[in-house]
Structure 1
Amino acid sequence: MRAGTPSLIDASSLILILDVSRKLAAPCDLTELLELIIKTGREVIGADRGSVFLYDEEAKELYSRVATGEAQIRVSIDKGIAGECARKRQTILVDDCYSDPRFNQEIDRRTGYHTKSLITVPLIGLDDKLVGVLQMLNSKADHFGPDERDVAELLAAQAAVAVQRTLLLEERMIKLKLEHDLTIARDIQQNILLRRLPRCPGYSLSAFSKPADDTGGDIYDVIRLDERVDMSPMLLLLADAAGHGIGPALSVTQFRAMLRIGLRLSADMDALMHHVNQQLIEDLPNDRFITAFLGILDPTTHQLRFHAAGQGPLLHYRAAEGQVVWRDPSTVPLGMFKDLDLPPTPPLVMAPGDLLVLLTDGFYEYQDAAGQVFGKERVGDLIHRLHARPTSDILGALLAEVRRFAGSAKQIDDLTALLVKRDA
């Protein structure tokens, strides 16, 4: 969806997209996965038929693994509407296919199908890699408009990574052992973490994440709510799924995906928290939950509105007073209770030089060889001493101090941090 553009997507479409996002995270056969994408696309976009064309990088061709009512089709990336969509990596809408010179009528003649309108969306996976193209044919409303485009792009964003992952697993499943599969899962999870945080005028941000196992149950995210506005509010996320390893890694990755989809449709934090909580209630086992800090920082008013669902403690360093202020969680973890209580939380005001430190419990509960924990006091003392330094230096010093404290003790929990500082 284009930033700042109001959405008219109805609730039923959003529910279907959230549901397919959850299903895409589950392991399945590639054909089943593609059929799920097609089925969902037809329902939410209102199309008669659909195809997923996968990209053969070596042959420079797009080929269909599934197409409702059709046999496999292979086309050069240099030809047709699908080829142009793949080359330019742009969504293409066509109202009258037979009047468009790019349209290949031969496929209709071969299949006996008559294509009137179409929408074609590129599937871009991790590392900006072209995975293929999603194409929907013949709108039930006679043409595809901006709303259908938004829905198609939301679906494509989720489908691309799932298809990319499934292709990789399909190619390697026979050859690789379980530890190799875990390495792949770790690489996929690490790739969804931001390598470069978005710029927030007047603020400095730094982040870090290191799982205890090959994959971890922690995640962070920073999202500019309107890419067209330099002083756009920023959404801040720090989340921790109970436990660590492949199960929590899947849970927290699903959580981030649902959050990003919901955020494209509404920036209402209360609504986001309620909807995501309801989905986690359905998906997570009874003994699993996710703690999460979710906040929106406005760089024009310097106010941070937030909910801390079981995530805490939160450290706010007030530079003017030279004071470390601790804040407790504002509500219970997500995925535990259907009725999520979200009491109004006073916004956190970021004065010049103020610092917000968000850490998962792996920092506070890190143990040395004698079983002593690192604790809040050591974190607070370090922040008080180093608050004037850049966030990258503070984060580096914190990690060094934790390692010095732990000595030879092994890391037993994931470590994830997000630091936000208002420039003095």
Structure 2
Amino acid sequence: MTKQIPSYLRLHTEHNTESAPPTTAGYPGLTELCSAFAALSGWKLEETVVEQGCHFSPSIASDDPTRRLSLTAIEGREFDAAEPEAAEAMARAIGGLLTELQRTRQALWRREAELAAQAAKTPRSQEDSQLAQQLAFVLKGGAESVGCQAAALYLLDDDTSELKYRSGWNLPEERFLEPARPLRGAFAELEALVGHAVVLEDLRLLPHWNAPEDFASAVCVPVSTPSSPLGVMWVFGDTVRDYTDEQTNLLEIVAGRLAADLEREVLIDQGVKRRQVDRQINHAAVWQESHLPNSTLMLDDYEIAGWTRQAEDVGGDLHDWNLLPDGRLALLTGDAQAVGVEAALVAASLHAAVRSHANYRHSARQMAHRVNETLWTGAAGEQFASLFYGLLDPETHELEYAAAGHVAAFLKNGRSWRPLRCDGAVLGAEPQWRDKPRKFLMKQGDVLVVASEGACLGLLEADALNAHLPDLLPAGASAAEIVNLLRDELADLDLTDDQTLLVLRRKS
């Protein structure tokens, strides 16, 4: 039968007593093992409690070192007993096995409590043990408050198709090893999960409710947060009996306490993981910043400067330059077509690919093709990036470049300036990347400005990319000064995209 829980509540005061971890009671086959040991050896093997340890076997309960196995010679046996040394060795071996079994039980007991809170395995073993004890303590207090002799906590799995035993009081420890209960056919749990307390006064007359334990009576109440059901709490009685509305209401309060403990553990675990993620992202941001160039260009006729700002802690924009072994200057601006951590990973792949392929003789167009091939074969159709890659010959002052995706470049000479053609396909979208070779001469006083998509959109919003750009970039300004002037134009805008600027200037 079911009883609607009344809308009022009564307070229940708990007395905080210790809840013991699993004990050695109930070892399957232990009695048979001791009997067989006695029949074979002539020595009686039994569990005992000693004040200062025992000579014959190690402790069989890690929480209580005084519980040992002892050997006693059987009087009146019909055969010669085994030598004491041999019997002692066997007893020690059996005690060691039981000790390991007990440790496994206690680890499982803590693990089930951890899983009950859906907590990932983090360095918090002491807290996991405390949670296991707390759940058992609450179940014990709830069951005893209504005169019951056992209690269990079952929680839903992620698919809400099964109920797994997560904690209990006065029930065999083997319950932790049993498979989950299918929700289909569990009529009492289904009724409880919709918000009702299910009172089973006589389980023998109500077998269709499919109670999980063989007791005379039971009550099943929901365990839930304000937003979602978590599972059910069962309490079991040894006698056929009724449960009053006050008792079912009290059990509902106990179930609410269980839900609060589990929810608190989830919040604590989420906070721990959030701090771990924040630390990892901070380290990644420092790593990204450290891989941007900070060296001065060792070319008499040229200056170069760059700036990158990520919209989040980490992002997908980058710039770089370096002198190749053949004396040419390689410069690049990259923009991963993603956001956050994913963008940072793609940007790292892009940067590594450029650095790796730069060790071989290449043209700008060949570099774009090789990087495209790297991104495509690494994750076909999943890594996209924009790239401006230029190669400057400081002897001839010829600069060849390849532009892929969403990048922009401008060439300024005196008071005139013009955009460079940048219409190549995004890298990583197709197995082959094709574009025509593009070259121009850097004359004295020329300034090359390369901007990623985010920086270009920001300059457009600031109305900087119009006829007054030559006024914004005064004659004789160094590459670093030009970068700072353009940064100032972007400073007051809302940062929604990663931004990169790269400036190359040939001295007058």
Q: What is the TM-score normalised by the length of structure 1?
A: 0.52
CA shift for structure 1 position 283:
2.9
Alpha-carbon spacing, 1:277–1:298, altered in 2? closer, same or farther (3 Å):
same
- 1:417 alignment partner, one of 489, 496, 501: 501
Alpha-carbon spacing, 1:364–1:200, altered in 2? closer, same or farther (3 Å):
same
For 1:235-274, list aligned pairs within 5 A.
Answer: 235-274=330-369
> Does structure 2 retain, via aligned residues, the 8 Å contact 1:309–1:330?
yes
User: In the alignment, residue 392 of structure 1 is paired with which amino acid?
Assistant: A
Deviation by residue 1:352-400 (Cα, 9 ceiling, x = unmatched) = 1000001112122239xxxx8235625x623444241112112111111
Deviation by residue 1:187-208 (Cα, 9 ceiling, x = unmatched) = 1111111112432220111111
Deviation by residue 1:216-271 (Cα, 9 ceiling, x = unmatched) = 10111101012xx7xx2100110101133111111111111111111112333333
For 1:206-225, list aligned pairs within 5 A.
Answer: 206-225=305-324
User: Partners in 2 of 1:309 and 1:384 — Cα distance?
Assistant: 29
> Does structure 1 retain, via aligned residues, the 8 Å contact 2:390–2:399?
yes
Query: Alignment length, in residue pairs?
Result: 236
User: In the alignment, residue 420 of structure 2 is paired with which amino acid?
Assistant: R
CA shift for structure 1 position 309:
0.9
For 1:382-401, list aligned pairs within 5 A.
Answer: 382-388=469-475, 389-401=477-489
User: Partners in 1 of 2:455 and 2:274 — Cα distance?
Assistant: 37
CA shift for structure 1 position 335:
0.5
- 1:373 alignment partner, one of 432, 456, 461: 461
- Classify the secondary structure of the residue corresponding to 2:450: strand
User: Partners in 1 of 2:382 and 2:273 — Cα distance?
Assistant: 33
- 2:291 alignment partner, one of 181, 186, 192: 192
> Does structure 1 retain, via aligned residues, the 8 Å contact 2:408–2:456?
no
Aligned to 1:333: 426
> Does structure 2 retain, via aligned residues, the 8 Å contact 1:363–1:374?
no
- Classify the secondary structure of the residue corresponding to 1:343: coil
- Classify the secondary structure of the residue corresponding to 1:267: coil
Alpha-carbon spacing, 1:269–1:194, altered in 2? closer, same or farther (3 Å):
same
User: Partners in 2 of 1:215 and 1:418 — Cα distance?
Assistant: 19
Aligned to 1:67: none
Aligned to 1:402: 490
Q: Which has the larger radius of gyration?
A: 2
User: Partners in 2 of 1:398 and 1:272 — Cα distance?
Assistant: 28
Deviation by residue 1:282-323 (Cα, 9 ceiling, x = unmatched) = 33463641110011011111110111112432100022xx21
User: In the alignment, residue 219 of structure 1 is paired with which amino acid?
Assistant: L
User: Partners in 1 of 2:427 and 2:296 — Cα distance?
Assistant: 25
Stretches of structure 1 lacking an aligned partner (at least 5 in a row): 1-172
Deviation by residue 1:68-124 (Cα, 9 ceiling, x = unmatched) = xxxxxxxxxxxxxxxxxxxxxxxxxxxxxxxxxxxxxxxxxxxxxxxxxxxxxxxxx
User: Partners in 1 of 2:274 and 2:488 — Cα distance?
Assistant: 39
> Does structure 2 retain, via aligned residues, the 8 Å contact 1:324–1:384?
no
> Does structure 2 retain, via aligned residues, the 8 Å contact 1:210–1:416?
yes
Stretches of structure 2 lacking an aligned partner (at least 5 in a row): 1-271
Q: What is the TM-score normalised by the length of structure 2?
A: 0.44
User: In the alignment, residue 325 of structure 1 is paired with which amino acid?
Assistant: R
User: Partners in 1 of 2:369 and 2:329 — Cα distance?
Assistant: 20
Runs of 4+, deviation exceeding 6 Å:
none
User: In the alignment, residue 261 of structure 1 is paired with which amino acid?
Assistant: S
User: Partners in 1 of 2:382 and 2:420 — Cα distance?
Assistant: 26
Aligned to 1:182: 281
> Does structure 2 retain, via aligned residues, the 8 Å contact 1:293–1:311?
no
| Greater RCO (CA < 8 Å, at least 6 residues apart) | 1
User: Partners in 2 of 1:288 and 1:303 — Cα distance?
Assistant: 32
Percent of paired sites with the same residue:
24
> Does structure 2 retain, via aligned residues, the 8 Å contact 1:194–1:221?
yes
> Does structure 2 retain, via aligned residues, the 8 Å contact 1:366–1:412?
no
Alpha-carbon spacing, 1:267–1:198, altered in 2? closer, same or farther (3 Å):
farther
User: Partners in 1 of 2:464 and 2:489 — Cα distance?
Assistant: 13
Aligned to 1:277: 372
